[in-house]
């Protein structure tokens, strides 16, 4: 494992590209890169995220998902793209009413609804719902257990060939849809389902509604950044705020999802703050190196082993199929290296991958299709380990587009390369390209005691410049991991609580 040791002699965070960049506004310090020998100018301090606004401002940089369900509310909610459309159904005010319900003329397995806006009846919309889906999602007590928000319909007796609608109609003044289901034998009604209209519209099969739901409740899209934009996207949050205020916790998580790297400031200089932060979200992700890893240089100059050579840019633990999702690196003692050594390096691996895709599509294909053997062999407190996982450097989703994970670690790229021999040279050239672009898009800064650098381990690629450890120049860092499943889960819990109070969003059905 590689630990990114956050060390700094400067209180202020210095941000700079490792490539030569023009000076930015608010130049505060010039640091030399020990890696490529070039110097560069820095930007100033990281931006303080405005905790007084409802949500992190950068969310406004991208269009919020348009709701086709509540167009009038889009404008007054634009400052809050995560605002739940679900929320409206909890306040007892139905904006949409079913004016007509029928089976589709074209497809008798579809239920068609015409809904109109309660405030403006000229606003009507047409929705289609598959009958099979409606039957599967019946909200009656026999089919759905509200307490556990779970379907309890008996699928062992469920026959998809025998789902037939006997009748559909709006009920409850258009607030609900009633569906009567007939049995296969004699056409008698065997079951009755009632669905709240807002519950239905929140589950609209329109593509734009599905996309809005996925953006809001599944995984908000990342916003990629290159070196030139790092100073715009890096945000900082107060440790105390994140620990004690749900709004700050939510903003930190949202920034982490959006940008892949966020700074937390002013954590106490004690050893278990990463654990406290992890516990605030969920729980620490353990690895074969344990739960919290401590990097503490021993005092003394005699041991050349403590000469900290540059740490090449990498992602942690690529040899895990379930790679820890997010790094928390707490700086307790800073290096006093006058030469600028011991600085953090970081790049948006997704941005790097997109540059490769755009500029060198054939090499992108090689890097996203060639399985690499990632390995780690050794022994730690948990005993001996021998990990292997095969994955490309650039992992893309099933749609062939969406970036899911970056793997890059020179020491942990195994020497077994199980590919056809004629692919090898081409892959190495592609990898060389990737690393060159990575270094062009990497930024350098130094953390201070009390900083917790948080970043995505499936997206960000990090490293450390060289640094010499001496009696006068010790450092102490504690790190831990969090998994993205827990982070996303916490975000949804916070959003639900903020939008609806204690009422569970899923159990609104009629
Ligand atoms: Zn039912």
Tell me the pLDDT tens digit for each residue of 266-279: 999 999 999 999 99
When pLDDT is averaged across residues 222-237 and rounded to a whole number, the result is 97
Comparing CA positions, the residue from 339, 315, 305, 311 lying closest to residue 463 is 311
Q: Which residues pair with 455 in a beta bridge?
A: 261, 327
Q: How many CB atoms lie within 10 A of CB 387?
A: 18
Rounded CA Rg of the chain? 27
Q: What is the pTM of this model?
A: 0.80
When pLDDT is averaged across residues 5-11 and rounded to a whole number, the result is 29
Among 3.90.226.10, 3.30.930.10, 3.50.50.60, 3.30.2020.30, what is the CATH number of 96-212?
3.30.2020.30
Q: Which residues surround ligand 1, an ion (CB under 5 A)?
A: 138, 140, 142-143
Separation between Cα atoms, residue 469 and residue 166, nearest integer Å: 79
Separation between Cα atoms, residue 128 and residue 111, nearest integer Å: 6
Residues 6 or more apart whose Cβ sits within 8 Å of residue 92: none
For residue 104, how far is its CA from the centre of ligand 1 (angstroms)? 22
For residue 140, how far is its CA from the centre of ligand 1 (angstroms)? 4
For residue 170, how far is its CA from the centre of ligand 1 (angstroms)? 17
Q: Which CATH class is domain 227-496?
A: alpha beta
For residue 216, how far is its CA from the centre of ligand 1 (angstroms)? 29
Highest mean pLDDT among 179-188, 252-261, 380-389: 252-261
- pLDDT at res. 297: 60
- pLDDT at res. 103: 95
In this prediction, residue 14 has a pLDDT band, given cuts at 50, 70 and 90, of very low
For residue 99, how far is its CA from the centre of ligand 1 (angstroms)? 23
For residue 134, how far is its CA from the centre of ligand 1 (angstroms)? 10
Per residue in 314-334, pLDDT tens?
999 999 999 999 999 999 987
Per residue in 421-457, pLDDT tens?
999 999 999 999 999 999 999 999 999 999 999 999 9
- pLDDT at res. 334: 79
- pLDDT at res. 53: 29
For residue 145, how far is its CA from the centre of ligand 1 (angstroms)? 10
Tokens of 329: 């690196």
Q: How many CB atoms lie within 10 A of CB 73?
A: 15
For residue 189, how far is its CA from the centre of ligand 1 (angstroms)? 12
For residue 165, how far is its CA from the centre of ligand 1 (angstroms)? 13
- pLDDT at res. 102: 97
For residue 498, how far is its CA from the centre of ligand 1 (angstroms)? 31
Q: Contact, 242 vs 252, CB < 8 A? A: yes
For residue 131, how far is its CA from the centre of ligand 1 (angstroms)? 13
Inform me whether the pLDDT recorded for 18 exceeds 80: no
Task: Specify the range with the lowest mean pLDDT, choosing from 148-152, 290-294, 299-303.
Answer: 299-303
Inform me whether the pLDDT recorded for 34 exceeds 90: no
Can you give the residue ranges of every domain in the chain? 96-212, 227-496
- pLDDT at res. 73: 33
Inform me whether the pLDDT recorded for 339 exceeds 60: yes
Inform me whether the pLDDT recorded for 13 exceeds 50: no
Q: Return the percentage of the chain with pLDDT > 70, whole number.
A: 75
For residue 180, how far is its CA from the centre of ligand 1 (angstroms)? 10
Inform me whether the pLDDT recorded for 477 exceeds 90: no
Inform me whether the pLDDT recorded for 202 exceeds 70: yes
For residue 109, how far is its CA from the centre of ligand 1 (angstroms)? 18
Phi, psi at 442, each rounded to 5°: -85, 145
Whole-number mean pLDDT of the chain? Answer: 81
Per residue in 103-125, pLDDT tens?
998 888 999 999 999 888 889 99
For residue 510, how far is its CA from the centre of ligand 1 (angstroms)? 11
Inform me whether the pLDDT recorded for 154 exceeds 90: yes
Q: Which residues pair with 405 in a beta bridge?
A: 395
Per residue in 54-93, pLDDT tens?
323 333 333 333 332 333 333 332 233 333 333 333 334 5
Separation between Cα atoms, residue 491 and residue 501, nearest integer Å: 14
- pLDDT at res. 95: 87
């Amino acid at each position: 494992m590689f630990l990114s040791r956050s060390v700094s002699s400067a209180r202020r965070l210095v941000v700079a590209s490792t490539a030569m960049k023009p000076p930015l506004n608010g130049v505060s310090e010039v640091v030399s890169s020990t890696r490529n020998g070039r110097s560069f100018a820095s930007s100033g301090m990281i931006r303080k995220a405005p905790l007084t606004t409802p949500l992190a401002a950068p969310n406004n940089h991208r269009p919020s998902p348009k709701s086709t369900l509540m167009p009038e509310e889009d404008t007054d909610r634009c400052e809050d793209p995560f605002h739940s459309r679900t929320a409206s159904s909890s306040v007892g005010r139905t904006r949409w009413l079913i004016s007509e319900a029928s089976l589709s003329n074209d497809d008798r397995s579809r239920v068609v609804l015409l809904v109109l806006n309660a405030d403006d009846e000229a606003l009507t919309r047409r929705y289609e719902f598959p009958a099979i889906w409606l039957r599967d999602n019946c909200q009656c007590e026999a089919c759905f257990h509200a307490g556990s928000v779970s379907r309890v319909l008996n699928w062992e007796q469920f026959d998809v060939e025998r789902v037939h609608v006997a009748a559909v109609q709006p009920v409850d003044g258009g607030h609900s849809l009633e569906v009567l289901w007939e049995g296969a034998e004699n056409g008698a009604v065997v079951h009755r389902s009632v669905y709240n209209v807002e519950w239905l519209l929140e589950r609209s099969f329109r593509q734009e509604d599905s996309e809005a739901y996925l953006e809001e409740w599944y995984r908000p899209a990342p916003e990629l950044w290159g070196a030139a934009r790092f100073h715009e996207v890096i945000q900082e949050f107060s440790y105390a705020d994140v620990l004690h205020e749900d709004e700050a916790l939510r903003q930190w998580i949202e920034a982490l999802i959006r940008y892949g790297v966020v700074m937390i400031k002013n954590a106490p200089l004690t050893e278990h703050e990463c654990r406290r932060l992890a516990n605030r979200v969920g729980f620490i992700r353990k690895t074969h190196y344990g739960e919290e890893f401590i990097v503490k240089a021993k005092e003394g100059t005699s041991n050349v082993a403590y000469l900290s050579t540059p740490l090449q840019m990498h992602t942690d633990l690529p040899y895990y199929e379930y790679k820890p999702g997010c790094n928390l690196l707490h700086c307790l003692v800073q290096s006093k290296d006058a030469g600028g050594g011991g600085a953090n390096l970081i790049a948006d691996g997704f941005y790097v991958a997109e540059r490769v895709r755009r500029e060198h599509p054939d090499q992108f294909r090689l890097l996203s299709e060639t399985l690499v053997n990632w390995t780690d062999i050794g022994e730690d407190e948990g005993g001996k380990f021998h990990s292997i996982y095969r994955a490309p450097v650039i992992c893309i989703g099933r749609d062939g587009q969406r970036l899911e994970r970056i793997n890059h670690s020179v020491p942990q790229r195994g020497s077994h390369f199980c590919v056809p021999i004629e692919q090898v040279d081409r892959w190495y050239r592609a990898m060389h390209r990737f690393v060159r672009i990575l270094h062009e898009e990497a930024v350098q800064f130094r953390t201070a005691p009390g900083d917790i650098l948080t970043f995505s381990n499936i997206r960000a690629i990090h490293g450390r410049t060289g640094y010499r450890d001496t009696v006068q120049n010790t450092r102490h860092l504690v790190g831990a991991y969090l998994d993205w499943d827990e982070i996303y889960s916490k975000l949804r819990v916070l959003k639900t609580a903020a939008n609806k109070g204690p009422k569970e969003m899923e159990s609104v059905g009629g």
